[in-house]
Structure 1
Amino acid sequence: MAEDPVIPRLQDGGDENHDPDAPLFDGDVEVSSGGSKGELDIDLSNLPTDPGLRKKNSEYPSNIRDNVRRAYLLNGPYQPDIEFPQTKGNEDENRKFVIDWYKEFTWIEYSIEKDAAFCLYFKGGGDAFMATGFKNWKKKQGLRDHVGGPISAHNQAYRKGQDLLNQSQHIETVLQRQSSQARSEYRVRFKASVDCVRFLLKQGLAFRGHNETTNSNNRGNFLELLEFSAFLNKDIKDVVLQNALENNKLTAHVVQKDIVNSFAVETTNVILKELGDAFFSVLIDESRDISVKEQMVVVIRFMDDKGCVIERFLGIVHVRETTALSLKAALEELFSKHGLSIGRLRGQGYDGASNMRGQFGGLKTLIMNENESAYYVHCFAHQLQLALVGVAKNHPRIALLFNLTSNALNIVRVSCKRRDLLREKHTSKVIQKIQSGDILSGQGLNQETALKRSGDTRWGSHYGTLVSFILMHSSVIDVLEVVMENALTSEQRGEACALLDQMQSFEFIFNLHLMKDILGITSELSKALQREDQEIVNAITLVKVAKQRLNAMRNDGWDSFFAEVSSFCVKNDIIIPNMDDPFIKRGRSRRRVEVLTNQHYYRVQLFIGCIDLQNQELENRFNEVNTKLLLCMACLSPRDLFVAFDKEKLIRLAQFYLRDFSSKSLMLLSNQLETYILDTKKNTVYPLVYMLMTLALILPVATAGVERAFSAMNIIKNKLRNRMADDWMNDILVTYIEKDICETIDDETIMQRFQKMATRRGQL
C-alpha cells in the first residue's frame, strides 16, 4: 500500500514558545557556541571589537577559549576608518596611523581606545603588538619586523589560527576517524538543513514548534519541512531525522540558529563588500516591537560601482533609551561591529522627531559635531504628510471633515456585523449600477473595497481614506440609518443621527472632494519619494511640479471642481445651495455674522484658502532643508541636456565638502567641469565631477527603507514569537529584508562558515 504523502505543516508562530517538556536538543548534542555553564555568560556575537578593550584569552573559561579566538578570527581584524589622531614624534613631527597599512598588513588591527596597532593572530610573548600596542608611527619597519621570517612567532600564530578554523586538523576529528561515507552522509544531511533554513528565511516563517517530539503535530516548520524534503528525496531520507546518528542530526535549535547566523553574516558581508570604501548616508528611526522593546533600525544608502543608488538594511539594535546620546552610542557600536566609520558619512535622514533632528542635542547635531559633512535631510515624505494633512487641519472646517470620517469609521467598523452589512450594501449598489450601465464590468474592475483608516504615520493613507469614503458614501449612509434605528444605546443612536445630518450636507461633500483633489495631486509625489532609488535632485523637481499643479487648480480649476461636486450631490440626493444666496454659518446669529454669499464662502474661504495654505506650507517645509545645497545639486541634473548646469554653483557645492575637496582639487574641478559639460564621458575621465554626483545622489530623500524594515519586523516578531531574542531577530531580519542578496549566497559558503563557528562532530 502506498505511503501517505508527508505534507509540511507550515506554522506562523511558536518560535519562542517551545514546550518546556519537549527535549531541547532532540537527541542532538552538537558541540557549538552554547551549552556549557561557563559559556552561557559569554555572548560570542557581541565580543568587544576594539583590540584595546578585549580581555586576555586566559581570562576566559578554559572550555571556551578556542570559541572566543575562533569568533575573533571569523570577524577578521578590526580596521576602523576614522580621522586618526596625531602624536608628537621624537623630532616634534606630527605622526599618526596610516590607513593604507590595512591593505599592506592584512593582520593589523587599530585600537581607537589606545591609539595603537595590534596583531589579530599573535597573542603571546612580550611583543608590543600583544602588550601595549604598537605606536611608533614613524618606523613602518617595525610592522615588517613583527611579521619576520617563515618561522617567526607571528607566522606560527597565523598558522595556528588557520588550523583552529580548519577543523580537519583538530585532534577530535582525527580520533573520530570518519569514513568517506560518513562525510558524504554528513554533507547531504547538512545541506538538507541549510535548504530548509533558506526557505523559511525567505518566507519569514517561524522555525520552532511548541512540542518537537516525534509524535507531535506541532513540531515547527523546520522539522516539518525537513521531513517533507525527505519524503520527496530518497537520498535525503536515508540520512536525516530518525536515520541520522542520534548525536549528529543537525536539527537542534542551536544548530538552526548558527545556520541562520551564517546566512546573516554572509549577507551583511556582501553588503559591506558592495559598499567598499565609498561614502554613504544613514537612515535611522526607532519604534517599539510587539514585546514593548524600543528598536532602532539602521539603513545605509550609497552608490555602487555601476553608478546605481542602493539602500541596504544594516541591522536593528535594541536601545534601552531613545535619547540622542543613547542612539548615537548604539549607532557607533553597530558601525564598529561592521568596520564602518562616522567619518565616511555624507548624509543623515530622519523623520524629524526632536531626539533625532534637535538643533542642539539631537542625533543629527551629535554626528555633525564629529563630521560636518554628514548633512541632514528631513524625510521628504514626512514633510509632505505634515504639510498636506497637518496644515489642512488648521482650517476648522477641514478639521471637522477628518473628525467626521474618523467617527463614521469607528461606528461602521466597530463590529463584524456592521462590516458585513456595509459590504452587502455596497455590493448591491455596484450590481445595480452595472445593470443600469452607469459603470462597466470586466476583469479587474469593481473589486471588493472597504473603508480605509488613516494614520499620521502612514504616508498617503488620508488620501486612500477619502477616496474610499467617496466610493462608498451611499453605503455608509445606509449603515448609519440602520444603526440609528437599531442601536442598543441612545448614545449610539444619537451619534449616528448627528453623522447622518453632517455627511449628507453639501459642505461635507465639498470638503471631502476638495481634500481628495489636493491630496491626489501629491499622491504620486508621495509614492515617488518612497522609491529606494529616488535621488534628491529629482525629488526637488517633483515638489516643484506639485506646487505648479496646486497653483493651476487654484487659478483655473474651480469650474470643473464645482461641477464634479454638484454631480455627486445630484446622484446622492444632496441639496445644492444657490451660490448667489447669502451664506448662513451654523451655530451663530445672523446679526453677528459678516454677510457673504455661498459663492464667496465656498470658493474663496474654502477652495482658495485651503490651496493657499498648502502652497505656503510646501514652500516653508521644503525650504527648511539646506536650500543652497539643494540648489547647487540641481545643477547636476542631466535633464534637457544639462540645461541647469552652472559651474559656479557646482564649485560652491564642492566647498560644502571640505573633507573631500582640497584647495588643489577645487582648482582642478573648475577645469574638469568646463570639459565635462562639452564631453560627458565616464566617471574615470572626470573623477571630481563624479565625486560631486555621488555626494548629491547618496543624500537621503525619504526614510521609506526604515519604514519597510519596521513592517518586516512586525511580520517576523509577532504575538506568537514575542520572546524572540534581539540577535535572533536581527539575523532573521537581515536575511528576510535583503533576500535578493541572501539567495545569491551558495550553500557551500554557508556550510563553511557554520563549520568554522564551533567544533563540530561531523566534517565536510
Structure 2
Amino acid sequence: MEIGPVPIAASQSLIIIVVTLAHRRRRTDPGLREKISSYHPNNHDEIRICYLGKGPCQPPYDYPVSYFSGKPRRFRAEWCVTRNWLEYSIAKDAAFCFYCYLFGQVVGKQGGGDTFVMKGFKLWNQLVKLDSHVGRVNSAHNQAVKKSEDLLKEKQHIQSVLVKQSNQDKAEYRVQLNAIVDYHNESINEVLQNTWKNCKLTHHDIQKDIVNAIAHETSKVIIEDLGNGFFSILVDESRDISVKEQMALVIRYVNKKGIIIERFLGIVHVASITAWSLKCAIECLLCEYNLSLLRLCGQGYDATSNMQVTVVGGSCKRRDAPRDAQFAKIKEDLEKGVRRSGQGLNQETNLKHPSDTRWGLYYGTILNLILMFSAVVDVLEIIEEDGLSDQKVKARSIMRSILTFEFVFALHLMKNILGITNEMSIALEKKNQYIVNAMDFVKVSKQRLQVMRDDEWISLLTGVSSFCATHDIPILNMDEIFVVSGRPRRNTQQNTNLHHYLVELFYTVIDMQLQELNNRFSEVTTDLLLCMACLNPSNSFVAFDKEKLIHLAKFYPSDFPGTNILALDSQLQNFIFDMRNNDLFLELQGVSELAEKLVSTRKHKTYPLVYLLVKLTLTLPVATATVERSFSAMKYIKHELRN
C-alpha cells in the first residue's frame, strides 16, 4: 500500500517528540547535562527535586573495555550497589557523582575536585579513588548528600510550609491580598485576573508581577504627593546576581505637610556605569513619571568601594588569629618594659571592615592596621603555610605588597591626611549638624592640609623610616634612582626616590585632596550653605540674617524674579518678627521642624516666599550623610529582594 505524505501538523509533532527525547537524554546522561548554575537561580531547587525524584543515572549497558598497563578494565554495575551516589555516562564512558552535581562545590582537589562533576572518572583500575571521593564526615560530598536529604524532608521545605498552612492562614492571606487589590485596584486586578482559580498566588512569577504593580501604583502616589514642587535625586548603582549593572533612584522632596520625604522611585538596568549612561537612564526614568528636569534642584550620588579584607576574615579561626598574635606582642612588650600597663590601656583591637559610606571607618582601619601590623604579618604567614591553594596565593601576594617601603609610606600618608579631615567627616555625617560649624571644619581641613604640604614632609619620612626599621622592612635611599617594581630599570624614567615620594606621591595626593575640597566646597557652594543656615530656628532664630537669605533667593532667579525679591525683603522682616513673638516657634530645632510647624499653623500661606526658601533648603541633599542613610535603608531591597 502506498503511503501518502505526512501532514504538516503530524510532521511538526514528530519533530517536537524527537527533539524532546534528545533533550531528555541530554538532561539524563551525566556527561551531557548542563550545570545547575546555568539555570535561573529561582529554579534551582525545582530542578534538584526533579533529579532527586529520578535518582542517579545507572543504566544497564554493555560497558566498553579500556586497557590499563595492557590489562582490560571497565565500569561494573555492581559498584553502584554499595555506592548509591554513583552515575554512569554512556556518552563519555565515565563515572559521575549524583549528589555533587546537585549541591557540590569544588574545594581544591579533595576527592578528585571536579572530576566527578564535570570531567568524569575513567580510571577503572583505581577503584580506591571512588571511596576517597566520599571522604570524611564533613567532606564536600557528604555535605552535598546532607543538602539533598534536607531538600526532600517535607517538614523543612518552604514550599511544604506554604502548602500546609491552615485554612485560617489561607483566609488571612486572601484578606491581605484583597486589601492590596482594593488599594491598588486598577493595576493589580489585571495581574490577578486568572490566578485565583489556578491557585498560583504563591508562584514567584505572580508575586513578582504583584510587586511590580504595587511599585507602579506607589510611584504614582509619590508623584501626586510631589505635585509641581522641587525635588532632588539620590542615585546608587550596584550589580545584581546576574552581574548586570543596576541603578537605583530615590527622590527627595517636601510633601504638602512640610515633611521631608525620601522615596524609592525605581531601578533601571544600564549597560555600563558611565556619566552618559547614568544621564540617559535618569532622564528616561524621570520622563516615565512626567517629572520635569526644571524642578530638579539637587543630585546626590553614592559610590561603591572595592576595598575588601577577606583573606583574614574568611573563618572564625583566622579572625581570632590576629587577636592572639596581637596579645602575644603586647605581652612581650610589657615584659621588656616597652609598653606601659594600666587601666584602659592595651585594649583588645581588631581590623575593622571599612565602610563604603563612612570615611571615618577608613581612618580607624588604617590606625588599627598600623597598630596590629606585626600580628597581621604573622597571620598571613600562617595562611601562606597551611591555607588552601588560592588563599596561599593571596596571602603571598599581600605579604609581598605590605612588606615594602612604598606600602608603609602610603599607609602613613593616608593616616595623616584622613586624620586631618576626620573631624570634618564626622561633622558632615551628623544628621542635624549646624552647617556653619561644618563649614568651619572644612576651612580648618584646607588650612591643615596646606601646612602639611609645606612643613611636614620630613616628619612623615622620619615616621615611615622608623616604622620600617621596627618591622624589618628595607628603608630606601632617597638619592638612588627609583625603580618601578616588576620592571627593568631601562624602562623607567630616571627619577630619584626623593622625587617619586615627595613630588609624585606626597605633593600630588595632598593637592588632589585640596582640589576635591575646593570642588565640593567651592566659594559659591559654601556661600549657598551658609545662607541656608540662616533659616535655622534654634535659639529663637539666632542665625537669622535677612541679607543672606535674599542672597540665597538670587541663586534661583526663575523662582524669585525681581518683583519677588523686593517682596521677599518685606516678607522676611514680618516673618522674623512673627516667629520671635510666637511661643509655638521658640522651641524648634532644625529647619525640618520649622517647615512642619509653618504648615500646621497655616503660616506657609502667609509667608509663601519664605516657605519656598525653606523647601529649597530641605530638598537639597546638603551632606553626604543624607544620601548614605537613604541607601543604607535600601540594603534589604538591593541585596535580598532584588537578587
Q: TM-score, normalised by structure 2?
A: 0.52
Q: Distance in 2 between matches of 1:284 and 1:499?
A: 34
Q: Distance in 1 between matches of 2:158 and 2:377?
A: 46
Shift of 1:509: 0.6
Instruction: Name the structure 1 match of 2:480.
Output: 582
Select which of 166, 187, 190 maps to 1:25: 166
Q: Distance in 2 between matches of 1:599 and 1:276?
A: 61
Q: Distance in 1 between matches of 2:329 and 2:397?
A: 24
Q: Spell out, residue by residue over 1:290-325, the C-alpha distance to the aligned partner (whole angstroms, 9 max, x if none).
A: 8999795746454998x9xx65554676x5x5369x
Instruction: Name the structure 1 match of 2:500.
Output: 601
Instruction: Name the structure 1 match of 2:449.
Output: 550
Select which of 606, 619, 631 maps to 1:707: 631
The residue type equivalent to 1:425 in the other structure is: A
Instruction: Name the structure 2 match of 1:48.
Output: 186
Q: Which consecutive unaligned segments of at least 5 residues does structure 1 have?
A: 1-13, 65-260, 325-350, 391-401, 723-764
Q: Does 1:573 align with 2:497?
A: no
Q: Distance in 2 between matches of 1:533 and 1:563?
A: 40
Shift of 1:612: 1.2
Q: Distance in 2 between matches of 1:312 and 1:677?
A: 26
Shift of 1:669: 1.1
Instruction: Name the structure 2 match of 1:634.
Output: 530
Instruction: Name the structure 2 match of 1:616.
Output: 515
SS at match of 1:376: strand
Structure 1 pair 570/667, CA: closer, same or farther in 2 (3 Å)? Answer: same
Residues 282-431 of structure 1: pairs in structure 2 closer than 5 A = 283=234, 285=236, 296=248, 298=250, 300-302=252-254, 311-312=260-261, 314=263, 321-322=268-269, 356-358=278-280, 361=283, 363=285, 370=292, 372-379=294-301, 382=303, 409=309, 411-431=311-331
Shift of 1:514: 0.9
Q: Distance in 2 between matches of 1:21 and 1:643?
A: 62
Q: Spell out, residue by residue over 1:444-469, the C-alpha distance to the aligned partner (whole angstroms, 9 max, x if none).
A: 962341353675x7766644543332
Structure 1 pair 301/316, CA: closer, same or farther in 2 (3 Å)? Answer: closer
RMSD over equivalenced CA pairs, Å: 5.6
Q: Spell out, residue by residue over 1:571-625, the C-alpha distance to the aligned partner (whole angstroms, 9 max, x if none).
A: 323343454x3243245666776665544432232211211122234434566xx
Shift of 1:362: 5.3
Q: Distance in 2 between matches of 1:613 and 1:20?
A: 58
SS at match of 2:299: strand
Select which of 339, 346, 350 maps to 1:449: 350
Q: Which has the higher contact order (CA 8 A, sep 6+)?
A: 1
Give 1 or 2: higher helix fraction.
Answer: 2
Q: Distance in 2 between matches of 1:19 and 1:546?
A: 60
Q: Does 1:509 align with 2:408?
A: yes
Structure 1 pair 410/536, CA: closer, same or farther in 2 (3 Å)? Answer: same
Residues 67-86 of structure 1: pairs in structure 2 closer than 5 A = none
SS at match of 2:351: coil
Q: Distance in 2 between matches of 1:607 and 1:488?
A: 38
Are the aligned partners of 1:285 and 1:297 in contact in 2 as well (CA < 8 Å)? yes
SS at match of 1:19: helix
Structure 1 pair 461/367, CA: closer, same or farther in 2 (3 Å)? Answer: farther
The residue type equivalent to 1:24 in the other structure is: Q
SS at match of 1:584: coil
Are the aligned partners of 2:235 and 2:250 in contact in 1 as well (CA < 8 Å)? yes
SS at match of 1:568: helix
Select which of 560, 569, 572 maps to 1:670: 569
SS at match of 1:375: strand
Q: Distance in 2 between matches of 1:652 and 1:15?
A: 65
Are the aligned partners of 2:482 and 2:500 in contact in 1 as well (CA < 8 Å)? no
SS at match of 2:482: coil
Structure 1 pair 501/555, CA: closer, same or farther in 2 (3 Å)? Answer: same
Q: TM-score, normalised by structure 1?
A: 0.45
Residues 57-68 of structure 1: pairs in structure 2 closer than 5 A = none
Structure 1 pair 431/469, CA: closer, same or farther in 2 (3 Å)? Answer: same
Q: Does 1:649 align with 2:551?
A: yes
Which has the higher Rg, Structure 1 or Structure 2?
2
The residue type equivalent to 1:710 in the other structure is: M
Residues 62-461 of structure 1: pairs in structure 2 closer than 5 A = 281=232, 283=234, 285=236, 296=248, 298=250, 300-302=252-254, 311-312=260-261, 314=263, 321-322=268-269, 356-358=278-280, 361=283, 363=285, 370=292, 372-379=294-301, 382=303, 409=309, 411-434=311-334, 436=337, 438=339, 440-442=341-343, 446-450=347-351, 452=353
Q: Distance in 1 between matches of 2:278 and 2:493?
A: 46
Shift of 1:554: 1.4
SS at match of 1:43: helix
Q: Distance in 1 between matches of 2:521 and 2:494?
A: 38
Instruction: Name the structure 1 match of 2:113.
Output: none
Q: Spell out, residue by residue over 1:421-479, the C-alpha distance to the aligned partner (whole angstroms, 9 max, x if none).
A: 33321232233345546255545962341353675x77666445433322221112122
The residue type equivalent to 1:584 in the other structure is: F
The residue type equivalent to 2:533 in the other structure is: S
Shift of 1:707: 1.5
Structure 1 pair 632/311, CA: closer, same or farther in 2 (3 Å)? Answer: closer
Structure 1 pair 370/438, CA: closer, same or farther in 2 (3 Å)? Answer: same
SS at match of 1:378: strand
Q: Which consecutive unaligned segments of at least 5 residues does structure 2 have?
A: 1-154, 198-213, 537-541, 586-597
Identity of aligned residues (%): 33
Are the aligned partners of 1:412 and 1:418 in contact in 2 as well (CA < 8 Å)? yes
